[in-house]
Amino acid sequence: MRVTADRERCVGSGMCALTASEVFDQDDEEGRVLVLAPVLSAGDEDAARDAADNCPAAAITVEP
């Protein structure tokens, strides 16, 4: 599975980094999403989906 994030759409709430810290972080300047692991391991798939579901800006996409 792959994960992408639209940094322009991101509002910096940090839900992604809190939900899936192995996959996401936030940049130091604006607090916008950073994708640490664009190709997901089996152990990170559920957390990445939860982060996408909880993103208030709908900035995260998880694809097969």
pLDDT at residue 28, rounded to an integer: 96
**Number of domains the chain is built from:** 1
Q: What is the pTM of this model?
A: 0.93
pLDDT at residue 53, rounded to an integer: 97
The CATH code of the domain that includes 56 is 3.30.70.20
Q: Mind listing the pLDDT tens digit for each residue in 7-60?
A: 999 999 999 999 999 999 999 999 999 999 999 999 999 999 999 999 999 999
Q: What is the span of the domain harbouring residue 45?
A: 2-63
For 10-49, letters b (16+ CB in 10 Å) and e give: beebebbbebbeebbebeeeeebbebeeeebeeebbebbb
